[in-house]
Structure 1
Amino acid sequence: MILITGGLGMIGAHTARALADVGHQVVVTAHRRTEVPSFLAGRVIVEPLDVTDRDAFLSLAGRHDISDIVHLAGGIPGTDPVGFLRTDMIGLLNALEAARVRGVRRFAVASSLGVYVGRSEMRWHEELALPAAQLPHLIVAFKKAVEPLTTHSLQGTGVQPVVLRIGSIWGPLMDPESPFNPIPPYISAALRGEQPRPLYADDGGDSCYAPDAGRAIALLMTAPTLRHTTYNVSSGRPFTNRELADALRAIIPGPRLDLLPGRQSGPGDNPYLDITRLTHDTGFTPAFDIAKAVADYVAWRADNPR
Structure 2
Amino acid sequence: MTWLITGGAGYIGAHVARVMAGAGERVVVLDDVSSGVPGRLPADIPLVRGTSLDGDLVRSVLAGHAVTGVVHLAARKQVGESVEQPLRYYRENVGGLATLLQEVVDAGVGRFVFSSSAAVYGNPPAVDLVTEDTPCAPVSPYGETKLAGEWLVRAAGRAHGITTTCLRYFNVAGAERPELADTGVFNVIPMVFDRLTRDDAPRVFGTDHPTPDGTCVRDYIHVSDLAEAHLAAARRTAGPGTDLTVNIGRGIGVSVRELLAVIADVTGDRRAPVVEPRRAGDAPRAVADAGLAAKELGFTARRGVEEMVASAWAGWCLRHPEAARG
TM-score, normalising length from structure 2?
A: 0.81
**Between 185-194 and 242-251, the greater mean CA deviation after superposition:** 185-194
Aligned residues of 2:15 and 2:224 also touching (Cα < 8 A) = yes
CA distance in 2, matches of 1:118, 1:196: 24
AA in 1 matched with 2:129: R
- The match for 1:297 is 312
- The match for 1:182 is 188
Say if 2:214 is the partner of 1:212.
no
CA distance in 2, matches of 1:192, 1:222: 44
Aligned residues of 2:252 and 2:288 also touching (Cα < 8 A) = yes
- The match for 2:7 is 6
**Aligned residue among 168, 185, 190 for 1:165:** 168
**Between 45-54 and 151-160, the greater mean CA deviation after superposition:** 151-160
CA distance in 2, matches of 1:112, 1:34: 19
AA in 2 matched with 1:71: H
CA distance in 2, matches of 1:42, 1:162: 29
- The match for 2:93 is 88
**Between 135-144 and 85-94, the greater mean CA deviation after superposition:** 85-94
CA distance in 1, matches of 2:233, 2:258: 30
In the TM superposition, structure 1's runs of 4+ consecutive aligned residues that sit over 4 Å from their partners are: 224-228, 259-265
User: Percent of aligned positions with the same letter in both sequences?
Assistant: 24
**Aligned residue among 108, 114, 133 for 1:109:** 114
Cα distance, 1:20 vs. partner? Answer: 1.8
Query: Which one has the bigger helix percentage?
Result: 2
Aligned length: 298
Aligned residues of 2:111 and 2:162 also touching (Cα < 8 A) = yes
CA distance in 2, matches of 1:105, 1:150: 12
TM-score, normalising length from structure 1?
A: 0.86
**Between 273-282 and 191-200, the greater mean CA deviation after superposition:** 191-200
Alignment of 1:21-100 (within 5 A): 21-31=22-32, 32-38=34-40, 40-75=41-76, 77=82, 79-100=84-105
Alignment of 1:172-251 (within 5 A): 172=175, 173-178=181-186, 181-191=187-197, 193-198=199-204, 200=207, 202-223=215-236, 225=239, 229-251=244-266
Aligned residues of 1:171 and 1:184 also touching (Cα < 8 A) = no
Cα distance, 1:246 vs. partner? Answer: 2.0
CA distance in 1, matches of 2:307, 2:84: 38
Cα distance, 1:183 vs. partner? Answer: 1.7
Aligned residues of 1:191 and 1:252 also touching (Cα < 8 A) = no
Aligned residues of 1:212 and 1:235 also touching (Cα < 8 A) = no
Say if 2:141 is the partner of 1:126.
no
Unaligned runs of 5+ in 2: 176-180, 208-212, 322-326
**Quick one: structure 1 residues 155 and 203, their matched pair in 2 at CA, closer, same or farther if it must change by over 3 Å?**
same
Cα distance, 1:157 vs. partner? Answer: 2.4
Cα distance, 1:5 vs. partner? Answer: 0.8
- The match for 1:141 is 144
Q: CA RMSD in A?
A: 2.8
